A and B are shown apart, each in its own frame.
Chain A
Amino acid sequence: MRAEEREKKVAIKQENIQPSGAESLLNRKVIEERDTTYRIVSKNVSEYHFIVPFDLSEEERVEVGQIFSIKDQGLTFLARAVNIEHSSNYDGHWDTTMKGTQFFDSDQIFNRVSAEPLGCINRKLEFKKSRTLPTKFAPVARAEREEFRFLSQVMGDIEVGYLRNGSRLVEEIQVALHSEVMDHHMGVFATTGMGKSNFMKVFAASCMRLAARGQSKFGLLIVDPHGEYLKGKGPVKGLTHLKRYREGLACYSTNRQNASDPGVEELAISESEIFPEDIALLYEWSPPQRDALEAVSRIFDPASWLEEIKSPEGMVRMMQEGFKDSTVNVLVRRIKNELERNPYIRKRSSLANILANLQKGKVVLVDIPRMSDRSELFLLSVISRYILDEYKKDEKEGGESRKNCLITIEEAQRVLGSGSNISRFESIAREGRKFGVGLCAITQQPKLIDKQLLSQFNTLVVMGLGDRNDRRQLEESAKQDLTSMDIEIQTLEKGEAVVSTLNIPFPVPARIHRYEDYLRRLDKEDKQESLIARGGFKPFLD
C-alpha cells in the first residue's frame, strides 16, 4: 500500500470515529426503578439464587422449605428454598460500621434466597429432573396449586395429609402414599409429641377406607401397648370411632373390658406358638441360662416344650444334657411367671384369624394396654414370626388372593438398633419383601437404628426432629437426598412432615391431617362414595 493511500484510509476511519450530526451527540439512557427482585440471578444447575426485598411483610416473608416456581419460556422450574441470607449491592462491612439506620435506597439491599432445584414441568405437564437451569433474570414466584397439579398425578391411594408450602397449606393437593411400595418398608420419625401416633391413625384410617371399599392391597398390623389406638383418650379419638369404615378394622385386646365391646375379640395365643427365642426376649439371661434356653428346642417337642419343661421329667432331661439344676430352675420359674402373668396364653389362638384378616387387607389392631416393654416385644415377636412363616409358606404354595402385609413396630430402635440381638425384625427388614411382608418402624431416635437397615426403607415420614444426630442418620441413609432439608426438618412443627417415598419425585412437604378432623371429613364426604362402592346407592336408575 502506498503511503498516500494508507493515509487516506486512516483519514476516513478518523472521520468515522468522530461524532457526526447533532442527534448523535447525546445518547441518553434512562434507568428507572424496576423490580429486580423475584428474579433468578445465579448460580448453577444444582443451586439457584434469587433475591427478594429485605423488608417483606409477615405474610410475604420467605421461609426455608417454601417451593418457588420459575417460569421460563415453556418450562416451569420448581425449587425449594434451603437458605436465606442478607445481601446488598454494597461491598465490605458497610452495615456494621454505619451510624444511621435510615436507608435511602432500599432497592440496593435485599435478601438472597438459595434454592434447591426439584425439577421442571414441561409443556406436556410432565415433571422431570432438570439438566439445565433457568435463564438469568427469569421471574420467580411462590408456587401455587397450578404448579403443583402434576403432583396429584404421582400421589398414591393412602391419603395422609395435604401438601404444604412453607407453613401454608395447599389443600387442593393431597399427599398420599402408595400401597404398592408398602412391602418396601416405611419409617415414621419424630421427637415425642410431634405427631407419630396421630400419623399412624390417619394412615390406618385411610387403609380402613381402602379395605372397606375392597380396594386394599395390604393388611396393616398395629400392636399398641399404650392403649391409644382402639378408643383414644378423652378428646383424642381412636380407630373404632371411624364407624363408616369399621368393617376394614379387626380388633383384638388383652383387656377384658375392651374385649367385651362388640367387634373386639379377646386376644389369645396358644402355648404351641411360643418359641424359646420369644421367651429369651423377656429377661436378661446369664450365658449358661442362655445356652439352656437355646438347647430347649433340640431337647423337647417344639409344640409342647412349655408343658414338658415344667414337668419333673423335663427337669431330668435338661440335667442329662448337662445343665445345672439351678439354671433350669430359673428357666422354669420365669416361664411359669410369664404364663401366669399373661392369661392370654391359652390353648386357643387368635393368630390364624389375625393372619386371615391381614391377608384380606384389613387393619388389624392388637390392643395390649399396660403391658410391659418386654412383654410387648415378646408378643410382637410371636405374632410376627407367625406371620412371616405363613407368608413364606404361602409364597411356596402360590397363594394368590392374599394381600401383602405391613407390621408396625413402635419404639423400633429397641429391635432394629445396631447393637440389637433380636434378629426376627431384622430378618423381616432384610427378606420380608420377598414374601410380601413389610415393616413400619416408628421411632423418636432414628440415630439408634442400624444404618444399613434404614437404607432399606423406601418410605420415610419425617416429622420434627430436634436432635442433629437423628437427622444426620436419616439424611445419610435416605434413598432421596434429604441433606438440603436439614433446616426444614429441624423446624417442622407438630403435624408437619416431609414425606419421601418411591413414585413421588422429590421429598414432599406435608401437613398430616389431625386424626379427629380427618374422621369428621371421612364421615361427611364419603357418604355417597361408599354407598356407590357397595352398590347400595344408585343416583340414577339404570
Chain B
Amino acid sequence: MDEDSRLSLIAELIRDHISLDGIDRYLAETGVQSCDFVPVEPRDFAGEIFAVDGSNASICGWSTANVNLIRAGYAVYRERDWKRTVITFDDAFLADPQLCQKMFDPYLEHFFGLKGIDFKESDLDRLSSYYRELHEYVAINDALSEAHAGDIILYDGSFDVFEPLRGVLAAIFDRAREKGIALLAVAKSSSIFWGEVVSLPFVQHTSMAGSRLLPGAAWYLSLKDKKVDAGQGRWNGQTYIVRFCGQSEHAFRVDAPSYLADDIGSVLEKLAAYSCSAECMGYPHALFRAHRDIRITEQEGAAACERLMAQLSEIGMTHSEIRLLMQDFHDILEMRPGI
C-alpha cells in the first residue's frame, strides 16, 4: 500500500470518528441536552478584569543542569482599557532535585501557610513546570490582594492541577470567596473526551453543537452530570464549556470554584462584553494581553543562553567544554548553526 492510499484511509477513519452528521449521537452519548446550552448576553462591567499567565523557556536542558527562564504575572483591564501589567516573577530556575524542596517551600509557607511540598520520584522531570505553576499561583494571590469585591480574575489554564499544589489552590479559592472576587480558569487547549468506543474531542464537538443550537450567540454549558472524561476533578469546582463571543467559532474550557456555582451566568455575561476584540476575537481580551506581555520570546531565551555561556567561560570553562556540554545531538543532526 502506498502512502497516499494509506493517508486516504486514515482520512476516512478520522472523518467517521470526528465529524458529526448532526448532533444526535453527541447528545445521546454525552447526556447533553439542547436546553443545557445557556445563552449569554454580553453585559457592561465597570470593575477590573485581571488575567494571570506564566511562561517558561528552557535555556539549557542537561540532566545535570536543567535551566529555565520563568516568568509570571498578570494584566489588568478596566473595560477596554489596559491599565497595567504586573510581573511577579521573572528569573532563571535550576531544576535540581536536591534543591527543589528549598525552592518551593519558602513560597508555599509565606504566601499560603503551607508546609513541605512532597515530590514523588516521577514528578522530578517536570520540576520547572511545577515551579512555573507555583509562580502563577503567587501571581493570582498578588492579583487577589489588588482586586476589589466584584472584580474578575482569569487564570490561563485549568484548576485540575498537580496534586502537591492542590493545597495552594484551596487557599486561593478561600481568599477569592472571602473577598467576593470571581476566579475562573480559561484553558486554550483541553483534554476532555466523550464517546463510548473511541475518545472524541469534547470541546470541539460542543462548539459545533452550540453553533447549531444557538447560532451567532455566546453561551455556556455545565459539565455537571455529563458523561465526559474531564480529568480527576477533585479540585472543588465545576467545569464549563464557554463560547465568549457570538461571532467566533471557538469555545473554551472554563473552570470555576464551587462558590461561583450560582453566579457563573452573570460572571460570563461580563466577560462576554470584553471578549470580542479585533486583536483576538472570541477570547477574553485581558488573557490575550497577559499572554503577550508575559511570554518569554525566543530571542530572550537565546540571549539568556548566551549570557549563561559567557558566564561559564568567564569562570574558566573552555569553549570546547561548554560546547560539548551544551550541544544537543539534535542540533548536530539538524545542522543548526551556532554553539
Binding site for B on A (CB under 8 A): 14, 17-20, 22, 25-33, 89-90, 94, 98-105, 107-108
Interfacial chain B residues near A98, Cβ < 8 Å: 278-279, 281
Interfacial chain A residues near B94, Cβ < 8 Å: 17
- Decide if B83 is an interface residue (CB 8 Å cutoff): yes
Interfacial chain B residues near A105, Cβ < 8 Å: 82, 277, 279, 285, 289
Whether the pair A33, B279 counts as a contact (CB closer than 8 A) is no
Interfacial chain B residues near A103, Cβ < 8 Å: 277-279
A102-B278, A103-B277, A103-B279 given; A19·B103 CB < 8 A: yes
Known: A26-B142, A33-B82. 12 other contacts (CB 8 A): A18-B99, A20-B106, A25-B106, A25-B107, A28-B88, A30-B87, A100-B278, A102-B80, A102-B278, A103-B277, A105-B82, A105-B285
- Decide if B84 is an interface residue (CB 8 Å cutoff): yes
A28-B88, A99-B281 given; A33·B110 CB < 8 A: no
Interfacial chain B residues near A22, Cβ < 8 Å: 106, 110
Identify which of B82, B106, B276 contacts A19 (C-beta below 8 A): B106
- Decide if B229 is an interface residue (CB 8 Å cutoff): no
Of the A-B pairs whose beta carbons lie under 8 Å apart in the complex, a sample of 26, sorted by A's number, is A14-B99, A17-B99, A18-B102, A18-B106, A19-B103, A20-B106, A25-B111, A26-B88, A28-B86, A28-B87, A28-B88, A30-B85, A31-B86, A31-B293, A89-B292, A98-B279, A99-B247, A100-B277, A100-B281, A103-B278, A104-B80, A104-B82, A104-B274, A105-B82, A105-B279, A105-B289
Whether the pair A33, B84 counts as a contact (CB closer than 8 A) is yes
Whether the pair A33, B83 counts as a contact (CB closer than 8 A) is yes
| Nearest A residue (CB) for B277 | A104
In the assembled complex, the Cα of A341 lies from the Cα of B308 at a distance in Å of 93
Interfacial chain A residues near B41, Cβ < 8 Å: none
Cβ proximity bits B88-110 to A, threshold 8 Å, 1 near / 0 not:
11100010101100110011001
In the assembled complex, the Cα of A100 lies from the Cα of B276 at a distance in Å of 7
Classify the interface of chain B: helix, strand, loop or mixed.
Answer: mixed
In the assembled complex, how far is the CB of residue A347 from the closest CB belonging to chain B, in whole angstroms? 85
| Nearest A residue (CB) for B87 | A29
- Decide if B241 is an interface residue (CB 8 Å cutoff): no
Cβ proximity bits B269-308 to A, threshold 8 Å, 1 near / 0 not:
0000010111101000100010011000000000000000
Interfacial chain B residues near A108, Cβ < 8 Å: 279, 292
| Nearest A residue (CB) for B86 | A30
| Nearest A residue (CB) for B84 | A32
Identify which of B86, B103, B289 contacts A18 (C-beta below 8 A): B103
- Decide if B60 is an interface residue (CB 8 Å cutoff): no
Identify which of B89, B274, B277, B289 contacts A27 (C-beta below 8 A): B89
Classify the interface of chain A: helix, strand, loop or mixed.
Answer: loop
Most B CB contacts (10 A, CB to CB) among A14, A22, A26 go to A26
- Decide if B256 is an interface residue (CB 8 Å cutoff): no
In the assembled complex, how far is the CB of residue A449 from the closest CB belonging to chain B, in whole angstroms? 52
Interfacial chain B residues near A26, Cβ < 8 Å: 88-89, 138, 142
Interfacial chain A residues near B111, Cβ < 8 Å: 25
Binding site for A on B (CB under 8 A): 73, 77, 80-90, 94, 96, 98-99, 102-103, 106-107, 110-111, 138, 142, 247-248, 274, 276-279, 281, 285, 289, 292-293
Whether the pair A29, B107 counts as a contact (CB closer than 8 A) is no
| Nearest B residue (CB) for A108 | B279
In the assembled complex, how far is the CB of residue B325 from the closest CB belonging to chain A, in whole angstroms? 17
In the assembled complex, the Cα of A99 lies from the Cα of B288 at a distance in Å of 16
| Nearest B residue (CB) for A19 | B106
Interfacial chain A residues near B247, Cβ < 8 Å: 99-100
In the assembled complex, the Cα of A99 lies from the Cα of B110 at a distance in Å of 46
In the assembled complex, the Cα of A103 lies from the Cα of B88 at a distance in Å of 27
Whether the pair B285, A104 counts as a contact (CB closer than 8 A) is yes
Interfacial chain B residues near A102, Cβ < 8 Å: 80, 276-278
In the assembled complex, how far is the CB of residue B52 from the closest CB belonging to chain A, in whole angstroms? 13
In the assembled complex, the Cα of A18 lies from the Cα of B100 at a distance in Å of 9
Interfacial chain A residues near B103, Cβ < 8 Å: 18-19
Interfacial chain A residues near B289, Cβ < 8 Å: 104-105
In the assembled complex, how far is the CB of residue A7 from the closest CB belonging to chain B, in whole angstroms? 12
Pairs of residues from A and B, 4 with the lowest C-beta to C-beta distance, nearest first: A100-B278, A104-B277, A29-B87, A31-B85
In the assembled complex, the Cα of A100 lies from the Cα of B89 at a distance in Å of 34
In the assembled complex, the Cα of A33 lies from the Cα of B84 at a distance in Å of 6
In the assembled complex, how far is the CB of residue B315 from the closest CB belonging to chain A, in whole angstroms? 12
A100-B277, A100-B281 given; A25·B110 CB < 8 A: yes
| Nearest A residue (CB) for B276 | A100
In the assembled complex, the Cα of A29 lies from the Cα of B142 at a distance in Å of 12
In the assembled complex, how far is the CB of residue A25 from the closest CB belonging to chain B, in whole angstroms? 6
In the assembled complex, the Cα of A14 lies from the Cα of B138 at a distance in Å of 23
A30-B86, A33-B82 given; A104·B279 CB < 8 A: yes
In the assembled complex, how far is the CB of residue A23 from the closest CB belonging to chain B, in whole angstroms? 10
Interfacial chain A residues near B277, Cβ < 8 Å: 100, 102-105
In the assembled complex, how far is the CB of residue A331 from the closest CB belonging to chain B, in whole angstroms? 80
In the assembled complex, how far is the CB of residue A37 from the closest CB belonging to chain B, in whole angstroms? 15
In the assembled complex, the Cα of A323 lies from the Cα of B110 at a distance in Å of 118
In the assembled complex, the Cα of A108 lies from the Cα of B293 at a distance in Å of 11
Interfacial chain A residues near B248, Cβ < 8 Å: 99
In the assembled complex, the Cα of A498 lies from the Cα of B167 at a distance in Å of 73
In the assembled complex, how far is the CB of residue B75 from the closest CB belonging to chain A, in whole angstroms? 9
Whether the pair A90, B106 counts as a contact (CB closer than 8 A) is no
In the assembled complex, how far is the CB of residue A487 from the closest CB belonging to chain B, in whole angstroms? 30
Whether the pair A90, B279 counts as a contact (CB closer than 8 A) is yes
| Nearest A residue (CB) for B248 | A99
Interfacial chain B residues near A29, Cβ < 8 Å: 73, 86-87, 90
In the assembled complex, the Cα of A101 lies from the Cα of B90 at a distance in Å of 34
In the assembled complex, how far is the CB of residue A105 from the closest CB belonging to chain B, in whole angstroms? 6
In the assembled complex, how far is the CB of residue A406 from the closest CB belonging to chain B, in whole angstroms? 60
| Nearest B residue (CB) for A105 | B82
In the assembled complex, how far is the CB of residue B81 from the closest CB belonging to chain A, in whole angstroms? 8
In the assembled complex, how far is the CB of residue B272 from the closest CB belonging to chain A, in whole angstroms? 14
Whether the pair A31, B84 counts as a contact (CB closer than 8 A) is yes
Whether the pair B279, A31 counts as a contact (CB closer than 8 A) is no
In the assembled complex, the Cα of A14 lies from the Cα of B86 at a distance in Å of 29
Identify which of A19, A94, A101, A107 contacts B107 (C-beta below 8 A): A19
In the assembled complex, the Cα of A108 lies from the Cα of B291 at a distance in Å of 14
In the assembled complex, how far is the CB of residue A86 from the closest CB belonging to chain B, in whole angstroms? 14
In the assembled complex, the Cα of A485 lies from the Cα of B96 at a distance in Å of 61
Interfacial chain A residues near B87, Cβ < 8 Å: 28-31
In the assembled complex, how far is the CB of residue B322 from the closest CB belonging to chain A, in whole angstroms? 19
Whether the pair B82, A27 counts as a contact (CB closer than 8 A) is no
In the assembled complex, how far is the CB of residue A98 from the closest CB belonging to chain B, in whole angstroms? 5
| Nearest A residue (CB) for B89 | A27
| Nearest A residue (CB) for B293 | A31
